[in-house]
């Protein structure tokens, strides 16, 4: 077992973990545990998020809710729901994830089972420090169409194309917004109040929507 501790995240790496051991660990620790996992078929990473990690997570969630509201798009927020598929022998708990294109498919569901239910359409992954497992491979195996990854400085949008994630400038779920624009507001969140940020973002988005509809 290897433990790495830094101000933003604490990671514990467990090698040679079987699927059965993973399932037993998740059952025994329950849903209220303070850590999240990533599993690639042999290595299990346990990550305990701290302030530098959690604050951006909250900002992304709020911005996404504003986008959905202003664009009048229904979404289903799934938070850090456990995403796993035995057939793929992998699993992960994202920082946030959302059903957007497939919102109707999971509306009203109380539990998710990726063996039969579609995966989330968008996942947010915040890695202030390098993960010990390849999360791109995990999300790809689960079939998550879009991934936003933020390392504390740089935000990137990725779309799943032929089993691989490629950089993209615009969101698939919300084609109106670009990675450059979202990055600007995430950077602002470090220096201004949260209410001021949301007011500024909403005003900017409404102006953008008006311009789009009148062009």
Give the residue-averaged pLDDT of 74-87: 94
> What are the domain boundaries of the chain?
50-214
Span 26-35, average pLDDT: 80
Q: What's the CA gap between 6 and 19, in Å, rounded? A: 28
Please state, rounded to an integer, the average pLDDT across all residues of the chain.
Answer: 91
Comparison of pLDDT for 206 and 131, the residue scoring more = 206
Tell me which of 41 and 101 has the higher pLDDT: 101
CATH of domain 50-214: 3.90.1570
Which pLDDT score, from 0 to 100, does residue 6 have?
46
The pTM of this model reads: 0.91
- In whole angstroms, what is the distance from residue 112 CA to residue 80 CA? 12
Q: What is the pLDDT of residue 8?
A: 54
Predicted confidence at residue 117, as pLDDT, reads: 96
Q: Has residue 5 got a pLDDT over 50?
A: no
pLDDT of residue 9: 64
| Tens-place pLDDT, residues 174-199 | 999 999 999 999 999 999 999 999 99
Look at the block and give the residue holding tokens 């993209």. 168
What is the biggest distance separating any 2 CA atoms in the chain, rounded to whole angstroms? 59
pLDDT at 130 exceeding the cut of 90? no
Mean pLDDT for 115-123 is 96
Mean pLDDT, rounded, for 3-17: 71
- Say how far apart CA 31 and CA 60 lie, in whole Å: 22
36-64 pLDDT, tens digit per residue, is: 899 998 899 998 878 788 899 999 999 99
Q: At residue 77, does pLDDT exceed 90?
A: yes
- Percent above pLDDT 70 for the chain: 95
């Amino acid at each position: 077992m290897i433990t790495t501790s830094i101000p933003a995240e604490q990671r514990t790496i467990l090698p040679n973990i079987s699927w059965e051991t993973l399932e037993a660990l998740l059952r025994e620790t329950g849903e209220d545990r303070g850590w999240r996992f990533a599993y690639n078929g042999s290595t299990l990473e346990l990550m305990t998020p701290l302030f530098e990690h959690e604050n951006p997570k909250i900002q992304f969630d709020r911005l996404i809710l504003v986008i959905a509201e202003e664009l009048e798009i229904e979404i289903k927020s799934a938070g850090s729901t456990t995403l796993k598929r035995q057939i793929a022998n992998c699993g992960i708990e994202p920082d946030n994830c959302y059903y957007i294109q497939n919102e109707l498919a999971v509306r009203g569901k109380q539990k998710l089972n990726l063996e039969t239910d579609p995966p989330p359409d968008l996942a947010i992954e915040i890695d202030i420090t390098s993960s010990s497992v390849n999360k791109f491979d995990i999300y790809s195996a689960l079939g998550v169409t879009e991934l936003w990854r933020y390392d504390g400085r740089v935000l990137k949008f990725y779309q799943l194309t032929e089993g691989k994630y490629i950089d993209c400038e615009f969101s698939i779920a919300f084609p109106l917004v670009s990675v450059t624009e979202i990055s600007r507001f995430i950077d602002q969140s470090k220096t201004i109040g949260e209410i001021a940020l949301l007011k500024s973002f909403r005003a900017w988005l409404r102006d953008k929507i008006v311009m789009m509809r009148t062009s």
